[in-house]
Structure 1
Amino acid sequence: MRNTLLLSLACLAQSTGALTLHERAQPATVQYDIHRRQGLSHARHKRSAPETDIDNEETYYAITLNLGTPSQAVEVILDTGSSDLWVNAGNSSSDNPYGVFDSSSSSTFKVVNDEFAIMYVDGSGAMGDYVTDTVAFGNVTLTDFQFGLAEESSTQLTTYTEGVCGIGYASNEYADLRNDEGYANLPEALVNQGYIKSAAYSLWLDDIDAGEGTILFGGINTAKYSGSLHTLPIQAEQGEYSELAVNLSGVHVTQAGKSISVNNTAFPAVSVLDSGTSLTYLPTGTAMDIIDAVGGEYYASQGLAVLKCDAARKSDYEIVFAFAGFNLSIPLSDMLLEASFGYCALGIAPESETASGGIYLLGDTFLRSAYVVYDLANNEIHLAKTNTNPGPDHVLEIGTGATAVPQVTGTPNTQTATAATATATGKSGSGSGSSGKGSDSDSDDQKENWAPALRTDFASLLVGVSFVALLLAL
């Protein structure tokens, strides 16, 4: 999860706003594709309305942006868990395979200040300047767009670092967290420059095994989901919205439609929908019970569980995520990540107290089975089951205002059997997590220079020497 600051969340706010959808011959949307990068160690994201393609790497989502005049192509991780766009400067590493931005070659480049800095909990980070320049993708060209230009960046996991395109709340920007003047990040800039009507977007993969998906800014595509969209209020902390987090009522396992008991005492709990996190992190008791139920073997040294791929893919287990009024059932086969030697890693892991601080994360292994609409303007999330065999696109524009969301039904997926569902319940109460931010005892210098965030890079675990040795020992 690439959060510039992972704040403690409490179940405090109930949102009353909703999407207004319009069918137009030429909807004000932006669509863009996303793409998968096998074996790499980041999370990539989708956008649309404008709509853009995204790469689904099983470990992250990625998009390509064109920066400056003339344009320079840079690949970045798409992250709903953070809010800043940052890229590597041209002098940081000229042979970076993700691309770098040479500001001296751009006639539209301007420096805002030298106060950009971000650090992730895994030890990676970036420092440099806040700058403005032209940013283009798909049919969009944003002028004077502010982003971070990293003169220095580091990673604990790979030789080269990849920039990040955060599309969360602007209140989660590094500048805003420093109490500096905030700025319009990508969703807000698309509104301000007339490309979309509202700061809202939908994200989906075209297929579980596909290398591509799409993010649609300012609209929804009813062909890409089955059934109805279910509305969940985004949870606020002390009246402020900073994370794309919802209340998760519980999680459990079914086999052939029969429920298997799972520890749900930690629920209901606030959980962040984060495309920048590869795995789905749940309360320890819940995660361990799920691992046991599906026949996985957990390795604490790696922080994940493994299963034999063939047997797991042929099984009739389903993982059921329960929300208020809506259950999303995901076949076990769709919660697996390819490892090696015939073994797969389960896409669910126990929370990491040192990394997530008790915040539960619905990462890519969850999101690739869900159609998600992120309505930042009205502080709502809309969820549906993704349709992996869609028909022709049917795009509706998201308008403005706080009227009720129409019951727009997605296209039935006739090639996929209806998943069995069951209600997962837990003890009443609110979930909360500790901040990814430094505690009050942190020094002022640390607070001024760095905004900590959590990043989970799954691919590095799969190719690490210790993990290979672990698999050979099985």
Structure 2
Amino acid sequence: MKWTILFAACCVLLSETVQCISVRHYLEEEEASSPKLVKFSFNKHQGRTFTASEELSKRDKDVTFDLKNEQNFYSIKLSVGTPGQEVVVLLDTGSSDLWIPGSDNPYCKESSSFSISNQGKENGADGPFQTLPGGVTATNMSGGSTASATLDCKEFGTFNREDSKTFHSNDTEFSVSYGDTSYAIGTWRYDSININDVNLTNVSIGVANKTNSSVGIMGIGLSNLENTYTGVENVKNRNTHKYLNFPMLLKEQGFIEKNVYSLFLNRREAFEGSILFGAVDHSKYSGQLYTVPMLNLYQQQGLKDPLQLQVTLQGVGIEANNMTNTTSTTPVPALLDSGTTLVYLPDKMLAMLAEQLNAHWDRGIGYYVTDCSRVDNTNLYFNFGGFNIVSNMSTYVVSRSNENSCVLGLQPGGPEAAILGDMFMQHAYIVFDLDDFEISMAQANYAGGKNQLEAVTQQVPSAMKAPGYSHTFSGSQSITGGGNIFYATSYSSSSGSSTSTRTWSGRNAAVDLAPAPMLAFFAHFIYSFLI
């Protein structure tokens, strides 16, 4: 788990090459008298990191692993300003702000007199950036290498504020830093953005006139995570406020009825996926769509609503050779983050899972390694309180060697928290309800078929509360083994007045198919400035 150094809150995953997703987007909108929805479809392509970096090969005893091509990122091409300037940004559920590189960035090739080896150090950049509660993630932005002295800023585009007739500034500083020492410094601005036929006005945008990343971020998380509200400097100076970020503006300006979006990443090797704002596509999942509440880990520190897109992970287990084995049923908070590729589990929970997989931790490469035959014949289950999301362990493999050894994309995440990145999220159809602070999930359906789009106006259509809806993470506890995520269990009713028993199979019964931890200290630090 990488610790986050930030204003806008994020965590970093180091990787040497990436899979990028160039977006083919379009607007699907019903008649004016009917509920509305906005859909962006995208294609997947091979790419590279955002700064030049060396290819990484590491050796495990006598076995060499090629650790590359294992990070996804999801890009959207925006037209910013009037006339429009094309800028590519990364779509990220782990943050909440939109920021883009400015055309005057000194790290760009055509204007650079700075060295990337100084990243995070110039202009006192590592001074004002402080650490907020850990476990908050956003997309990795540099690959952790200083092999290049400049950035190719033309690939993803930059924004020249002087060329926009609709651009205006609010004279507020914008600063964000990441655990790999990549960062962005600039000012908050207002301008219009257009994504195909979706035209939004008065959009808050952080324009970075100094950044060692060649691509910006479109955060689509909760408003509590906005830089203007939880950024340390803003809190310290009592200058906190919230604004309407991208999903909120879609609702505010009439494109959708409710602040809801559905994410379908598709299978690992697929070329297409989609994000659907304001609606659900019933063709993209199998079985029952179950709803669980988002966690508010900072309620006692004064935050009324959740900070992040976190739910309770109720348990983990495996299935191999028609036998099931529960690793643990200790509930832990889990962040669903499209900006992280791998899966991070609590240290002890992951160690127990590794033992079940006959995997060993290799210090030389910093990954768990196991025999590929073991991986190919094992399914991994994640339980969320009455339903499981399942996939073959082979989809969690980072690299295979010629000697039939597999590197696993499962990483230790500290004592008590989890981050479920793309390797998990590709197996689920996930509906984020940012108005009611709920998340609905079902097993992803890769079979295709005709779209079955249904706009969300109140509750998520066809979704039902999970059997363990009210059985959520309530505080730190020791990770223990045992329990059973594959058969019946009992949960108290939402009123707490009775107990009901729900039964489900090891596979989702309706499906039938084969971070650093949050620290109360930092929450108290923020809260002390809010009161």
- Contact 1:327–1:423 (8 Å) recurs in 2: no
Counterparts of 1:404-423 in structure 2, within 5 Å, are 405-407=461-463, 422=486
Shift of 1:86: 0.6
Matches of 1:116 and 1:277 in 2, distance apart? 23
Corresponding letter in the other structure for 1:223: S
CA gap 1:440/1:296 in 2 versus in 1, 3 angstroms: same
Shift of 1:316: 2.2
CA gap 1:405/1:219 in 2 versus in 1, 3 angstroms: closer
Task: Indicate yes or no: 2:174 matched with 1:116.
Answer: yes
Counterparts of 1:265-276 in structure 2, within 5 Å, are 267-276=330-339
Task: Look up the SS of the partner of 2:177 in the other structure.
Answer: strand
CA gap 1:343/1:58 in 2 versus in 1, 3 angstroms: farther
Matches of 1:346 and 1:116 in 2, distance apart? 37
Q: 1:142 aligns with which of 184, 194, 200?
A: 200
- Structure 1 equivalent of residue 139 of structure 2: none
Task: Look up the SS of the partner of 2:353 in the other structure.
Answer: helix
Task: Indicate yes or no: 2:296 matched with 1:242.
Answer: no
Aligned length in residues: 386
- Structure 1 equivalent of residue 275 of structure 2: 215
Corresponding letter in the other structure for 2:320: Q
Counterparts of 1:45-60 in structure 2, within 5 Å, are 58-60=71-73
- Contact 1:291–1:297 (8 Å) recurs in 2: yes
TM-score, with structure 2 as normaliser: 0.66
- Contact 1:38–1:57 (8 Å) recurs in 2: no
- Contact 2:417–2:518 (8 Å) recurs in 1: yes
Corresponding letter in the other structure for 1:331: N
Name stretches of at least 5 consecutive residues in structure 2 with no aligned partner.
12-28, 51-68, 111-151, 465-484, 493-515
TM-score, with structure 1 as normaliser: 0.73
Higher radius of gyration, 1 or 2: 2
Shift of 1:216: 0.4
Task: Look up the SS of the partner of 1:288 in the other structure.
Answer: helix
Counterparts of 1:91-170 in structure 2, within 5 Å, are 91-92=104-105, 93=108, 95-96=152-153, 97-154=155-212, 160-170=213-223
Shift of 1:279: 0.8
- Structure 1 equivalent of residue 64 of structure 2: none
- Structure 2 equivalent of residue 10 of structure 1: none
CA gap 1:217/1:322 in 2 versus in 1, 3 angstroms: same
- Contact 2:94–2:308 (8 Å) recurs in 1: yes
Matches of 2:346 and 2:355 in 1, distance apart? 14
Matches of 1:285 and 1:145 in 2, distance apart? 43
Task: Indicate yes or no: 2:294 matched with 1:294.
Answer: no
- Structure 2 equivalent of residue 434 of structure 1: 518
Name stretches of at least 5 consecutive residues in structure 1 with no aligned partner.
8-22, 43-55, 155-159, 409-420, 448-474
CA gap 1:186/1:198 in 2 versus in 1, 3 angstroms: same
Matches of 2:488 and 2:346 in 1, distance apart? 14
- Structure 2 equivalent of residue 305 of structure 1: 368
Task: Look up the SS of the partner of 1:91 in the other structure.
Answer: coil
Q: 1:63 aligns with which of 76, 84, 89?
A: 76
Task: Look up the SS of the partner of 2:348 in the other structure.
Answer: helix
- Structure 2 equivalent of residue 31 of structure 1: 39
Matches of 1:393 and 1:131 in 2, distance apart? 38
Task: Look up the SS of the partner of 1:59 in the other structure.
Answer: strand
Counterparts of 1:378-457 in structure 2, within 5 Å, are 378-400=436-458, 405-407=461-463, 422=486, 433-435=517-519
- Structure 2 equivalent of residue 350 of structure 1: 412
CA gap 1:317/1:339 in 2 versus in 1, 3 angstroms: closer
- Structure 2 equivalent of residue 88 of structure 1: 101
- Contact 1:283–1:350 (8 Å) recurs in 2: yes
- Structure 1 equivalent of residue 48 of structure 2: 40
- Contact 1:318–1:330 (8 Å) recurs in 2: yes
Shift of 1:345: 3.4
Matches of 1:352 and 1:67 in 2, distance apart? 39
Shift of 1:66: 1.6
**Deviations along 1:438-473, whole A, 9 cap, x unmatched?**
58689x9xx9xxxxxxxxxxxxxxxxxxxxxxxxxx
Matches of 1:439 and 1:399 in 2, distance apart? 34
- Contact 1:281–1:349 (8 Å) recurs in 2: yes
Shift of 1:231: 0.3
Matches of 1:57 and 1:220 in 2, distance apart? 29
- Contact 2:87–2:158 (8 Å) recurs in 1: yes
CA gap 1:424/1:349 in 2 versus in 1, 3 angstroms: farther
Corresponding letter in the other structure for 2:310: A
Task: Look up the SS of the partner of 1:60 in the other structure.
Answer: strand
Shift of 1:261: 4.8
- Contact 1:299–1:305 (8 Å) recurs in 2: yes
Counterparts of 1:255-266 in structure 2, within 5 Å, are 255-262=320-327, 264=328
Corresponding letter in the other structure for 2:412: P
- Contact 1:334–1:369 (8 Å) recurs in 2: no
Matches of 1:34 and 1:382 in 2, distance apart? 22
Alignment RMSD (CA, Å): 3.3
CA gap 1:260/1:41 in 2 versus in 1, 3 angstroms: farther
Counterparts of 1:174-213 in structure 2, within 5 Å, are 174-177=227-230, 178=234, 179-213=239-273
CA gap 1:301/1:196 in 2 versus in 1, 3 angstroms: farther
Matches of 2:521 and 2:86 in 1, distance apart? 32
- Contact 2:346–2:414 (8 Å) recurs in 1: no
- Structure 1 equivalent of residue 90 of structure 2: 77
Shift of 1:105: 1.6
Matches of 1:304 and 1:138 in 2, distance apart? 41
- Structure 1 equivalent of residue 499 of structure 2: none
Matches of 1:337 and 1:436 in 2, distance apart? 33
Matches of 2:40 and 2:521 in 1, distance apart? 32
Larger RCO (CA under 8 A, 6+ residues apart): 1
Matches of 1:37 and 1:302 in 2, distance apart? 26
**Deviations along 1:118-175, whole A, 9 cap, x unmatched?**
1122322211010111111132111111111111123xxxxx4321110001121001
Seq. identity, % = 32
Matches of 2:168 and 2:322 in 1, distance apart? 59
Q: Which moved more, 1:32-41 or 1:189-198?
A: 32-41
Task: Look up the SS of the partner of 1:241 in the other structure.
Answer: coil
